[in-house]
Structure 1
Amino acid sequence: MSDQNLVELQGIHKAFGDNVVLAGVDLSVARGEVIVIAGPSGSGKSTMLRCVNGLETPDRGEITFDGRPVKPGKGLSALRAEIGFVFQQFHLFPHMSVLDNIVLAPTKVKGVARDAARTRGQELLERVGIAEKAHQFPAELSGGQQQRVAIARALAMDPKLMLFDEPTSALDPEMIREVLDVMRDLAREGMTMLVVTHEMGFAREVCDRLVFIDGGLIVEEGPPAEFFANAQSERAREFVDKIIHH
């Protein structure tokens, strides 16, 4: 494994019962690279993300993160602490204020002093554009604001990698942009990101490489402009046509 690659997947297979979801996926992610993973529903995109941070264990194949194997065992929680994960649903604790949601993991998992964690939490809320919401509860926020809190919460652990699993698909159209803007800024700052999304405008503008997955395999990958202009495989061309004429 080369030093510049933060993540390596080799020969990843995963089935749920008879349903083969990943059928031999190989992917290397360089440090600072932003990769968008696209493809039809049920093509294994989310499962692949969940394998990267050990939420799912592949049936076969190997994954390394920052030179360490991702596998069940005592090292997994330490490794997972270095990977931020933002889901479709926001998973915020409803009974805690926005700031307390952000402060929880750094103080509990990393032992960061509460005052330092609060200061940093406030900075992160500033960064995602909702500093004034610190003392409100999640239910008082819009979906787009809640998702930005979820991103701030993931960033509070100072992750080396951010995983986004369809982060805007549960949002109303007018809120999608505010979340994508935060992700765009993160990408510009050099965060390594793996993003499962249908937002192809974001892919075209922000990502270094688009990985198209279908039937549990990476069918093709390349710079987004090239992919949209000149998809090689029939499945990828169908996908592009659908998106462009959507």
Structure 2
Amino acid sequence: MTAPLIELKAVSKRFGSSVVLDEVNLTIFAGEALAIIGPSGTGKSTILRTIAGLLAPDSGEVYIKGQLRLGGVEERANPIGIGLVFQQAALFDSLTVDENVGFSLYQHSNLPRHRIQELVREKLEMVGLGDIGDRYPAELSGGMRKRVSFARAIMEDPDNAEDNPEVLLYDEPTAGLDPIASTVMEDLIRHLQRVAGVCNTYVVVTHQESTIRRTADRVVLLYQGKVQWQGKLAEIDTTDNPMVRQFFSGNVEGPIPVIG
């Protein structure tokens, strides 16, 4: 069997007295579209930040292409590029779209400004946006801001191919969007993988059913800091797992209690 591209072994993370991840084992394979689902506050976003290297686990190990990670992204410890799309887009309000999308190149590359602007335009076109490089985030709709954040996540440096993203991590990419805008985002995620050939491996954290069904090949259910179930997308309709059944039915009765 092909070795995992990313593997978490018995990873735990605690914030104060709260155990967010409890000895989580997770594998991600090259070319895979994985959805991590579960109720709010169960550690889904924490897993993404751990994979990206933004958080260090309290215990357990993270392997990237079979290599044990010994540090975070600030120590350039990842043997592959990993791009993270934040839930709220996380754009810099004081910077233009061009400056947001090209931020890493403006800060860390030796490319001339006109070349970076060309690359920015290419990425904006790839996510279905026109010539909006001179606009500010406040001038954009919520869906447009999300797509700008996609463009930033897939930005590549032609002089440093080893730093270019090989895996994309999407944190609630359709949160706060209406059904039509959500469909646009879901189609874009698949388009980047299947058509554009950009980062054909991705993990999407979501609790929105349409996003799960339209973007995932495999699904992992996380609850109380543990992986409670995992399987192929089609299995969510056939499994007898009570948590999966409750999650997709929206039933208030079941093993997942209603909070508040």
TM-score by length of 1: 0.89
Q: Partners of 1:149 and 1:97 in 2: how far apart?
A: 11
- Consecutive unaligned residues of structure 2, counting only runs of 5 or more, are 157-163, 252-260
Residue 191 (structure 2) aligns with: 185
Counterparts of 1:73 and 1:132, CA distance in 2: 35
Task: Name the amino acid aligned to 1:216.
Answer: G
Kept after mapping to 1: 8 A contact 2:52/2:73: no
Count of aligned residue pairs for this structure pair: 241
Determine helix, strand or coil for the equivalent of 2:207. coil
What is the CA–CA distance in structure 1 between the aligned matches of 2:74 and 2:93, rounded to whole Å? 30
Other-structure match for 1:145: 144
Q: Which moved more, 1:155-164 or 1:142-151?
A: 155-164
| Code of the aligned partner of 1:165 | D
Structure 1 residue 78, shift from structure 2 partner: 5.7
1:171-182 equivalent positions in 2, closer than 5 A: 171-182=177-188
Residue 77 of structure 1 deviates from its aligned partner by: 3.6
More deviation in 73-82 or 218-227? 73-82
Whole-angstrom CA distance in 2 between matches of 1:207 and 1:68: 26
Whose helix fraction is larger, Structure 1's or Structure 2's?
A: 1
Q: Letter of the aligned partner of 2:44 in structure 1? A: K
Given that 2:168 and 2:202 are in contact with CA atoms closer than 8 Å, whether structure 1 keeps it comes out as yes
2:242 partner amino acid: E
The worse-fitting range, judged by mean Cα deviation, of 78-87 and 200-209 is 78-87
Deviates most, 200-209 or 143-152:
200-209
Aligned equivalent of 1:234: 242
Q: Does 1:200 align with 2:209?
A: yes
> What's the RMSD between the two structures over aligned residues?
2.2
Runs of at least 5 residues in structure 1 that lack an aligned partner in the other structure:
none
The answer (yes or no) to whether the contact 2:96–2:134 under 8 Å persists in 1 is yes
TM superposition shift of 1:61: 0.5
Q: CA deviation at 1:110?
A: 4.2
Instruction: Return the alpha-carbon distance in structure 1 between the equivalents of residues 114 and 3 of structure 2.
Output: 35
Q: Residues 74, 237 of structure 1: CA spacing in aligned structure 2 closer, same or farther, 3 A cutoff? A: closer
**Amino acid across the alignment from 2:223:** D
Q: Per the alignment, in what secondary structure is the counterpart of residue 160 of structure 1?
A: strand
Q: How does 1:99-118 map to 2 (within 5 A)?
A: 99-118=98-117
Change (3 A) 1:74 1:16: closer
Q: Residues of 2 paired with 1:76 and 1:159: CA distance?
A: 16
